[in-house]
Structure 1
């Protein structure tokens, strides 16, 4: 066994020694021993621990792949995540006022995707082990909201009635005002007996809604999500911010970025996470690629009083971004693209004349790339709010505020 010094953390939370050699569950400054297997270290032992190393709060941490950074102090993780964003911006020649990171509390995740499989003795459900398809059963979880833990026996029951012996179910469970909203992918094609079995499990576990391979099997209560004062019933498996506190933090930063704008365009609007709360003071045009999501958003707006006008448009913003002549009637834009960023839409925003932009991102690298393009077009990047709603993971989210300073 050779010894190595960990120099830094990579974007996925693994320690990196000279080589580069990747060493999971290690921290910068630590001296470790291990066997080199390709570009990774195996059989790692900590020879000299970092001062930022702490005892993981969850007893499943070493085996479960749901968290990557429970062995690091909260202060270290906060500083590291902020530094990741700072470095991404610096690589594009940019800097900004980095506001103190805001982190969601433990046991606050309201949405999780579990893996479940039939076994000879019944079924098992949990999270995958690190870099493995092995399912680790978790008797407790420091990440999930206590009410979401009820999804574990649900996933097991659904695997018993509807999974093949060779396949694996992906079970997305979401807390809603109506109860657990469960969407399953990878199950057997439903026949008569399976349909009956699924209905029985929905009843037995008091589910609000159960969807199977994209089709709703049972709706016992509407799985309502509240965005501001509006109530929305998202389509099965629709995107939702992982924690309520994280959502409110992102929303507060978006509100500050758009200021008192009278007309706002919300790009990649989802089911209305930002559109509907912003409509309390502004007219909003919400654009989203999924027609089901825009329908849910529109329904939520039409069934509540006290909001200003909201219009919706189902449109693929990667292939058909809004053009400058469509954007110029808005005072501010909110853009919340997926991890790939939004190059096509950013190009059009650059010449739109929209005065304020709130950019919400889950990928510092593609955000920095798009920020560079906005900067070149005369948009000043004033501040960045990093949000850690995926606690103990390497995942980073942020909101950035831009204003147009030159034509």
Structure 2
């Protein structure tokens, strides 16, 4: 049913929100103050036409915007966009009763994202490759992208040709593409069984076209050059499909904040450590115990540390599912070898680290650096830590996920010393 609505505000996912007698209606790609004609369906509506445009509306930079589900906010004036993005963190903190100053948003440049999770599907006309349209399984065949590094976008046709060789299923399959210091690392998932001549053809193609590695469901198909990422000046070999911070410049900002906050800590626990984004940097000043549930990532961290030839302080590693078995306050306060931790960094997945935060809240760890890609779960975890006696010293929003509803943040906390 077609109807006219007036948009009152932006929602958390970037949709325009119209307040109606029946409740809020969410309209993707609409902006506050606009009168819009929509095709409404209960609480969701599709934008048909903008009848009165907001002065904050601008032309999107990408031809796919509005169809591709990768970006939600290219149509909003940059100043208004930055304010909306920062307010997501401010509002999440206030919802948990945390009223604290929040730094200005740290922005990243367009065409700076080094990894992408793309979807592909073989058709009679060739391979569709790109992001899915919002809230659908339809693949938007990518011709350009203003978020990804140009070195990835320039290889789209080569990636299509590789997907044609690797894909052995008519169903959609996924490929994670990461720009490493060695070249593109491509990890296929659910692309079907690849054996015999088709396998050799894919290997030959990947080698001829300079890919660093191609893997299928975690198995390395070919690896002409070991993929590595640089953590400062430390080369870290990465396993297939490894998690990395999306934008190298954003990672550097986060690492600088974490390292500066924890620089006086003699012994640091790096929780959800991954391949060592923070641990290897922290080890320049502190002994570090890195804890991670992903064994290949942890092995990469350990291998990179051992290759530094004594230039870092000791780094120990522990494979542990911190969601099932978080480190306890007793471990923090009376760690193995009889030395307590005086610093902790943690960077969990979007679900946050609720149980781990509860243990930290009971500990006497002096300094904590919390990194998160989800303001809502970060605010929940910070509330736990503040209730446990920690003081928020600084909160920094970082726009690592440009033009999307997602936001990275770093929160720095300190527990005052007990008076004797």
On the 8 A contact 1:54/1:71 being kept in 2, the answer is yes
TM-score of the pair, normalised by structure 2: 0.94
On the 8 A contact 2:292/2:319 being kept in 1, the answer is yes
Q: Aligned residues, how many?
A: 407
Alignment of 1:242-281 (within 5 A): 242-281=246-285
Q: Secondary structure at the match of 2:220?
A: strand
On the 8 A contact 2:123/2:170 being kept in 1, the answer is no
Runs of 4+ in 1 over 3 A off after TM superposition: none
Once superposed, what is the RMSD of the aligned Cα atoms? 1.4
* Shift in alpha-carbon separation, 1:189–1:228, aligned structure 2, 3 A: same
Which of 68, 72, 76 is the matching residue for 1:72?
76
Q: Which residue of 2 aligns with 1:307?
A: 312
1:236 pairs with 2:237: no
Q: Which residue of 1 aligns with 2:402?
A: 391
Q: Secondary structure at the match of 2:204?
A: helix
Q: Secondary structure at the match of 1:350?
A: helix
Q: Secondary structure at the match of 1:136?
A: coil
CA distance in 2, matches of 1:391, 1:43: 23
TM-score of the pair, normalised by structure 1: 0.97
Q: Which residue of 2 aligns with 1:326?
A: 331
* Shift in alpha-carbon separation, 1:43–1:10, aligned structure 2, 3 A: closer
Higher mean C-alpha displacement, 93-102 vs 132-141: 132-141
Q: Which residue of 1 aligns with 2:359?
A: 348
Q: Which residue of 1 aligns with 2:8?
A: 7
On the 8 A contact 2:271/2:291 being kept in 1, the answer is yes
1:38 pairs with 2:42: yes
Q: Which residue of 1 aligns with 2:388?
A: 377
1:220: how far off? 0.2
On the 8 A contact 1:238/1:293 being kept in 2, the answer is yes
CA distance in 1, matches of 2:92, 2:169: 44
Q: Which residue of 2 aligns with 1:361?
A: 372
On the 8 A contact 1:229/1:304 being kept in 2, the answer is no
Alignment of 1:1-400 (within 5 A): 1-18=2-19, 19-305=23-309, 306-328=311-333, 329-400=340-411
On the 8 A contact 1:125/1:135 being kept in 2, the answer is yes
CA distance in 1, matches of 2:46, 2:392: 42
On the 8 A contact 1:114/1:155 being kept in 2, the answer is no
Query: Which runs of no fewer than 5 residues in structure 1 stay unpaired?
Result: none
1:390: how far off? 0.9
CA distance in 2, matches of 1:50, 1:110: 33
CA distance in 2, matches of 1:262, 1:51: 53
1:97: how far off? 1.8
Q: Secondary structure at the match of 2:102?
A: strand
Q: Which residue of 1 aligns with 2:336?
A: none
On the 8 A contact 1:12/1:394 being kept in 2, the answer is yes
1:35: how far off? 2.2
On the 8 A contact 1:125/1:153 being kept in 2, the answer is no
CA distance in 2, matches of 1:291, 1:406: 36
1:44: how far off? 2.6
On the 8 A contact 1:53/1:71 being kept in 2, the answer is yes
CA distance in 1, matches of 2:169, 2:40: 35
* Shift in alpha-carbon separation, 1:406–1:16, aligned structure 2, 3 A: farther
1:165: how far off? 5.0
